[in-house]
Amino acid sequence: MGSRPAPCGTGAAFSGRESVGVTAASVRKAPKAKAKPKAKPKPKPKRLPPDERERLIVREAVAFFAERGFEGQTRELARRLGITQPLLYRYFPSKEALLDRVYQEVYLNRWNPHWEDILEDRSRPLEDRIVEFYSDYARAVLTYEWIRIFMFSGLRGMDLNGRYLTVVRDRIFARVIRELRFENALPAPSEVPISEAEFELVWSLHASIFYIGIRKWIYGLTIPDDVTAVVVALTTAFIEGVPAVVARLTDASPESRVRAAARRPTP
Amino acid sequence: MGSRPAPCGTGAAFSGRESVGVTAASVRKAPKAKAKPKAKPKPKPKRLPPDERERLIVREAVAFFAERGFEGQTRELARRLGITQPLLYRYFPSKEALLDRVYQEVYLNRWNPHWEDILEDRSRPLEDRIVEFYSDYARAVLTYEWIRIFMFSGLRGMDLNGRYLTVVRDRIFARVIRELRFENALPAPSEVPISEAEFELVWSLHASIFYIGIRKWIYGLTIPDDVTAVVVALTTAFIEGVPAVVARLTDASPESRVRAAARRPTP
DNA sequence: CGGCTAATTTATCTTTTGATAAAACAACAT
DNA sequence: ATGTTGTTTTATCAAAAGATAAATTAGCCG
């Protein structure tokens, strides 16, 4: 517990949201002894302001731990950053604290509150809304870093995954189901609570899309170029397939579904 | 390297294919020298025949690495086995060799060749076949050990996942698609090769089911008690939803689908 | 230029961890 | 019993890896 007059702490600055491409490291070179402009991997971009250094560390840490897992070693992370390993400890009191920051970075900052609006805009066909939402969700989440850190964190037993998915369930799944009910002229969730089976159906759509990311970034398989096209196809299949399942589950007669369809507002 | 007159080697015995439910571990307790029935955690089950010891190690290693990941430490594994850590090295030349054995154990020995027969038994409705296959596949694969070791191995960059999934694609997906084509009176894969879009549709069913295991064993979420019921629902939705998508993809007119349906053998 | 402040590095500690060699000892055959 | 065989343990090594303290030096200010 020595005196450490430094930034440190886990909840430091980093509100600046600007461009991440800070690749333009201002070069220095010692005042004398030019040491020839050899293309040495030692450009010495030393001495940055603390908040910028911190941003660099966090950015690289996300990429690094996504690749190597949370057992990745601080020495290698430091090497990638072009700094020495002890310097990490000036900005984060422990590796665990750095990892906490990495979680924060990945889980937060990538949720788009607008998604919820898209889903409940009844001026558009539900299929369109779901397609737009999941296309954008895929764009945001089906990335190397997001998918792998999410999986590493789940395997490690963090409850972060559980908490994140609770949000997904309440904000997304529940809305999709509400809108599906509305389309099919079924009672609103406020009247008849959402059943486990309904959640399962939405889970299945979600899984199909998320699993594309797993295939690519965890299994290293090739996936279709046009993910949006797949989302469209899956959403179509989902919308078309749900009524058949719902019919079985609720044991509703085909006639009742026809009546329901008749009550549906024609778009 | 030192003379080692021991079993060792990675491809040792254990070809016996018997039951996987080896839960009935041959009990411990030394034959004599009771050493007082104190509830001490030191039952001294020493000196087993090499192949039995090896089986015990592999069995525990699977459980251990599934829980802790491949960075789990040999000392803790040994502690769980009630043996000392160097003993592991009498049976496996390195940790890596033990891990290879663990992969083998999980990936092999759990594939049921009969699955392929189920899927192509045209005396039954396709929906039934898919339900039976995926119910059994889920029973075999949606386990703590399988799911987690598969994911750990993928994250580690092993190509085992890719190779396994190639088998799944060729043996399962291709069959499902062939049967779907047949049901819808479409050309066989031998005539018209399977498109990426068709594979995607089957991937989606597969993902929906596999993801149930991820939810439970990686995220720690609760899942429905009756997984088979979910498989039934998902398969129904799949079968019902596919034609709509296929229609879009192949841009086939509704009439052509009606004609196709007419040619379909009525079950 | 001279000096102060603090970002960064060098040197080092301790614990962990995969791995090895040699001692110990249980089980079996003679 | 007694010796032999080979399983298991004890003792130990060396490298890896998280963490800390002290030395160094870049950059700013007068």
Higher pLDDT, B206 or A257: B206
CB-to-strand C under 7 Å, chain B 51-110: 71-75, 85-86, 89, 93-96
CA distance B230 to B180: 21
Q: Indicate the helix (H) or strand (E) that contains A136.
A: helix A126-141
Which domains, and CATH codes, for chain A? 50-107 (1.10.10.60), 114-263 (no CATH)
Measured CA to C1', what is the nucleotide nearest B52? D7
Cα-based distances in Å from B183 to A188, B88, B130, B245? 37, 54, 13, 15
Give the helix/strand (H/E) hosting A59: helix A50-68
Burial classification of residue B106, based on how many CB atoms lie within 10 Å of its CB (0-12 exposed, 13-18 middle, 19 or more buried): buried
Under the banding of pLDDT at 50, 70 and 90, the label for residue B22 is very low
**pLDDT at A30 exceeding the cut of 90:** no
**Which residue type sits at A96?**
E
The token pair that represents A86 in the structure block: 């002890």
Q: What pLDDT is stored for residue A107 in this prediction?
A: 87
Q: B15: distance to nearest CA of chain A, Å? A: 28
pLDDT value, residue B45: 59
CB nearest A148 (choices: B155, B218, B224): B155
What's the CA gap between B183 and B127, in Å, rounded?
10
Q: Taking residues B9-32, report their average pLDDT.
A: 32
Q: Is strand D in 7 Å reach of the CB of B41?
A: no
**Contacts with B229 (C-beta within 8 Å, 6 or more apart), sequence order:** none
Q: How far is A98 from chain B (nearest CA, A)?
A: 20
Chain mean pLDDT for chain B: 82
Which nt has its C1' nearest the CA of A81? C8
Best of A240, A250, A251 to mutate (most B CBs within 10 Å, chain B): A240
Least confident stretch, A46-50, B30-34, B93-97: B30-34
* C-beta atoms of B200 and A159 within 8 A: no
Query: Average pLDDT in the B68-89 region?
Result: 98
On chain A, the residues whose CB falls within 8 A of the CB of B204 are 204, 208, 211, 234, 237
A1 touches strand D (CB under 7 A): yes
Cβ distance of B237 and A219 shorter than 8 Å: no
User: Is the pLDDT at B132 greater than 60, yes or no?
Assistant: yes
pLDDT at A266: 46
Q: How far is A131 from chain B (nearest CA, A)?
A: 14
Task: Give the tens place of pLDDT for each residue, A42-62.
Answer: 455 678 999 999 999 999 999
Closest Cβ–Cβ partner in B218, B239, B248 for A236:
B248
Statement: residue B110 has pLDDT above 50? yes
In this prediction, residue B242 carries a pLDDT of: 81
As ranges, strand D nucleotides with an atom below 7 A of a protein CB are 6-11, 16-22, 26-27
Check if residue B233 sits with its Cβ under 7 angstroms from strand D.
no
Kindly indicate the confidence band of residue A177, based on its pLDDT and cuts at 50, 70 and 90.
very high
Report chain A residues whose CB lies below 8 A from the CB of B144.
Answer: none
Least reliable range by pLDDT among A73-77, A94-98, A166-170, B27-31: B27-31
The structure tokens 């809304």 sit at A129
Instruction: List phi, psi (to 5°) of A163.
Output: -70, -40
**Range with the poorest average pLDDT among A159-163, A181-185, B40-44, B263-267:** B263-267
Residue A120, pLDDT > 70, answer yes
Report the range of poorest mean pLDDT among A256-260, B43-47, B58-62: A256-260
Give the per-residue pLDDT at B4: 38
pLDDT of residue B31: 37
User: DSSP of chain B, one letter per residue?
Assistant: -----SS-SSS-S------S-TTSPPP---SS---TT---S--------HHHHHHHHHHHHHHHHHHH-TT--HHHHHHHHTS-HHHHHHH-SSHHHHHHHHHHHHHTT---THHHHHHT-TTS-HHHHHHHHHHHHHHHHSSHHHHHHHHHHHHTT-SHHHHHHHHHIIIIIHHHHHHHHHHTTPPPTTTSPPPHHHHHHHHHHHHHHHHHHHHHHTS-----S-HHHHHHHHHHHHHHHHHHHHHHHHT--HHHHHHHHHHSPP-
| CA separation for the pair A239, A221 (Å, rounded) | 28
DSSP string, A193-224: PPPHHHHHHHHHHHHHHHHHHHHHHTS-----
The mean pLDDT of A211-215, rounded to a whole number, is 98
Instruction: With beta carbons less than 8 A apart as the criterion, state whether A177 and A169 touch.
Output: no
Check residue A8 and give its pLDDT: 44
Flag the least confident range among A164-178, A199-213, B222-236, B249-263.
B249-263
Phi/psi-derived region of residue A32, left when phi > 0, alpha when psi is between -120 and 50, beta in every other case: beta
- Residue B174 tokens read as 């291709």
**What letter does residue A45 receive in the DSSP assignment?**
-
Q: How far apart are CA A209 and CA A228, in angstroms?
A: 10
User: Which residues touch A19 (CB under 8 Å, ≥6 apart)?
Assistant: none
Confidence bin at B71 (pLDDT 50/70/90):
very high
